[in-house]
Structure 1
Amino acid sequence: MNALVHVANVLFLVSYLVRDILWLRGLTIVAIATLIPYYLANDLWPPIIWNGVFVAINVYQMVRLLIERRPCHLDERQQQLYQRVFRTLQPREFLALAQLGTWRSVAPGEQLVAEGEVLDQLHVIEAGTLEVLVGERSVAELNAGSFVGEMSFLTGEPTSARVVANAGEPRAVEVLSWPREGLRAFLDGHPDTRAALQLILGTDMAAKLRAG
């Protein structure tokens, strides 16, 4: 029976080494199940009851994870944006995030963001090129996969430039836009998605600083 204790503790050790939370919970359940015969042989009912509770919690969380990781269908625009920007999210997490936003076509020469505006939306470019202007001077171009106005969106400060669709574009620029309050409420309920999005935004801002 003592061998079961050693086996269970090895399984606990392995579970702490894996990165995938699903594997961690699965190994924990197996480790607990390995201990049950030892507890029964020694008539240790309190550990049996408490470990039963731990198993139930882990099974519930595993079911939630499996539901979240089910394959999901992304349309063509969603798939392109996911592959370009959001691959650190699970596809189903990205789908929920994308469905919260609104697709918008910005015609060549049309303004998306005004200078000095406090943005109530966050934008990301799916296709096309936007031009960043200070006054009438072009200071940067934003291509597919770039976020627009993220600093103003995050800080609540007015924008320092205006953003327009490149007049030389043969077709409209496609962007996905999220409302500030709706996005914040969604992220408050999905902390893992919030952490991933913060990393994505940080990477985007760092790339812009290097390019500038």
Structure 2
Amino acid sequence: MYDWAGYLGVAIYLGAYICLQLGYIRGSGYRYASLNMVAAICVLVSLSANFNLASAIIQGSWVLISLVGITRVFLQNHRLRFTEEEADLLSHGLPTMPRAMARRFLDTGVWRDARPGVDLTREGEEVAQLHFIRDGLAGVYLGGSKVAEIREGFVGEMNVMEPGPASATVRIEAGARVFSVSGDALRRISRTDSEFRAFLEQNLNAAVKRKLIEANTRMTSKPAAE
């Protein structure tokens, strides 16, 4: 039993490190620290049958360090506060982004009231900002013709990280509450924080996928309606 506890601890150590390297878990989150703590405890149990002081010190240190890391993340997240509109943006636009990282994202941009007629993007022009529409209505125009509407969600997510021209014009049609953040600022943070970039791109790609699914649904439902 003691030997198997040691084997389990080694397996958890290796599994956690492999998942970290493959990007499945973050080194600064709860999961990695918790896995290391469990692994260290398992190895400590195995040492009960064949005690080795040096190994016990190492495993005890891993447990202590992991507890410190878990406590730090808890206190950091506990102190964070989000307004109602910020929480709504996170739940609909960035659901998988860690809270501390989300706070950094939100602090980089600004909320504003956008009046009807304001263009968030213009077809063929470079996308300079990422926008999130919370309340209101925006029309999506392609070649001067309205092809869709946006009541809530990101605008500019396809081209903001790799600067490129907007595929359509998105124009506010009813007073909207809009969060806007500079693409330059997002790229600057991403260059120094690979985890931030990974989480941001993951959520923006999910937003693009949702829009494509909605567009396909509209296209397939038109003939049936006609």
> What range is the shorter-chain TM-score in?
0.7 to 0.9
Shift of 1:90: 3.2
In the alignment, which residue of structure 1 is the partner of 2:177?
A: 174
Give % identity.
23
Contact 1:93 1:193 in 2 (8 A): yes
What is residue 87 of structure 1 aligned with on the other side?
95
Q: Which residue of 1 aligns with 2:156?
A: 149
Shift of 1:77: 0.8
Counterpart residue number, 2:44: 33
Alignment partners' CA distance in 2, 1:47 and 1:55: 12
Query: Matched residue of 1:83: which SS?
Result: helix
Residue of structure 2 equivalent to 1:158: 165
**Secondary structure of the corresponding residue to residue 155 of structure 1:** coil
Summarize the Cα distance change of 1:14–1:52 in structure 2 as closer, same or farther, 3 Å threshold: closer
Aligned to 1:99: 107
Matching residue within 187, 190, 215 for 1:187:
190
Distance 1:186 1:33, change over 3 A: farther
Measure how far apart 1:24 and its partner are.
0.9
Q: CA deviation at 1:182?
A: 1.7
Once the two structures are TM-superposed, the CA of residue 199 in structure 1 deviates from its matched residue by 2.1
Deviation of 1:165 (Å): 0.3
Post-superposition CA distance 1:7-38 (Å, at most 9, x none): 34345556759x83343133123224335555
- 1:132 deviates by 1.4
Q: 2:147 aligns with which of 120, 134, 139?
A: 139
For 1:129, what is the secondary structure of its paired residue? strand
Q: Which runs of 4+ in 1 moved over 6 A?
A: none
How big is the alpha-carbon RMSD for the aligned residues of Structure 1 and Structure 2? Answer: 3.1
Equivalent pairs, count: 202
Give structure 2 stretches of 5+ with no counterpart. Answer: 17-24, 26-30, 216-226
Unaligned runs of 5+ residues in structure 1 are none
Shifted more, 130-139 versus 27-36: the winner is 27-36
Question: Contact 1:12 / 1:27 at 8 angstroms: preserved in 2?
Answer: no
Q: The residue matched to 2:81 in structure 1 has which SS?
A: coil
Asked whether the equivalents of residues 124 and 166 of structure 2 are also in contact (C-alpha less than 8 Å), the reply is: yes
Tell me the secondary structure at the aligned position of residue 166 of structure 2: coil
* 1:104-144 residue CA offsets vs partner (Å, 9 max, x unmatched): 22101222222222122111112212111134311221221
Residues 129-167 of structure 1: CA deviation (Å, up to 9, x unaligned): 2111134311221221x211122213322123222101x
Match of 2:66 among 47, 55, 58: 58
TM-score (normalised: structure 1): 0.77
Q: Distance in 2 between matches of 1:97 and 1:69?
A: 15
CA change 1:173–1:92 in 2 (3 A) is same
* Inter-CA distance 60–185: structure 2 relative to 1 (3 Å threshold): farther
Q: Residue 207 of structure 2 corresponds to which residue in structure 1?
A: 204
DSSP-derived class of the 2:111 partner: strand
The answer on whether the counterparts of 1:120 and 1:179 sit within 8 Å (CA) in structure 2 is yes
**Aligned AA for 2:171?**
V
Distance in 2 of aligned mates of 1:32 and 1:69: 30
Shift of 1:46: 4.9
